[in-house]
Amino acid sequence: MVNNITFYILYIMNIHVLLYILYKPGKYSNIGFQCKKVSMSDLKQDWEEYTRAFTFLADILNTPPNANITRKNKELFCGSDNPPMEINSHVGYQAIAAFFQDNMNVSIEKLVQDLAVDWTRLFRGVSQRYGPPPPYEGVYRKKDEVGAEIILEVKRIYSEHGLSISDEGRDRFDYLGYELDFMKYLSEHIALAIERGQKKEEENYRDAFCRFISQHLSTWVGDFCAQAAKYTKTPFYSGVLMLLEDTIVNATAICNP
């Protein structure tokens, strides 16, 4: 049922996270193995790992760097419990690990400062000379670089699932961080439906997952990553962009086996 599974092991907040990327290797990965059958428990675990993967990526986009996050990421990519070498061979992982290794003796405060500057440059759309256009779906998909109808469409989709942006939210509904958060929500509910044996609910959430990633994220994230890569000043975010692009490519592939 599942072929060419590419996987990465992450340790996020001291939780062992196995991120399965299904069906085919991504653009920046070169790892794969064959598996003929997947049990219900394995299928549930696949979606749980997608939940954690999208949580990790959404948190990067939605939360400016701070000392706590930076320490945990440093331990994640350079700690004593690092994943085996075949997992580390992913180019994005290597870029992030290299950033922390090269700055092993730099203070957390200085790392936070450098990462915060790059985070602002890549994700806030300060100016065309300073960084890429901001990661809003409408900006990348519409000629007017606004995409008001896309904002309304994404808002409608969130509302259909009883979701809204919190009062603390500071971004448009089509902000990449929010769209990644929505994918986390859907994959989480797919796993829960599998656990409960709720076949109809599983199908509904999976259909929503596939529609959103095929009609929204997969249509523009590659373009954003390509443009943002031109402006990165830290290997950390270069690696994040590669992991992000591979995750979207491979998550899209599970909907088109």
pTM over 0.75: yes
Is pLDDT of 84 > 50? no
Q: Which of 26, 55, 9, 51 is nearest to 249 (CA)?
A: 26
Q: What CATH number does the domain located at 6-253 have?
A: 1.10.3480.10
Residue 169's pLDDT is 65
Tokens of 184: 């986390």
Is pLDDT of 208 > 70? yes
| Mean of the per-residue pLDDT values of the chain | 83
Q: CA 10, 230, 149: angle at the middle one, nearest 5?
A: 85
Higher pLDDT, 164 or 84: 164
DSSP string over 229-247: HTT--SHHHHHHHHHHHHH
CB contact at 8 A, 154 and 188: no
At 18, is the secondary structure helix, strand, or coil? strand
Residue 163's pLDDT is 94
Residue 24's pLDDT is 41
Strand partners, 8: 19
Is pLDDT of 240 > 70? yes
CB contact at 8 A, 50 and 255: no
Domain boundaries, the chain: 6-253
Confidence of residue 170 (pLDDT cuts 50, 70, 90): confident
Interacting residues of 13 by C-beta distance below 8 A, sequence separation 6+: 72
Digit-coded pLDDT (tens) for 179-194: 999 999 999 999 999 9
Tokens of 112: 């936070």
Residue 129's pLDDT is 86
Is pLDDT of 53 > 90? no
Residue 27's pLDDT is 67
Tokens of 8: 């990465």
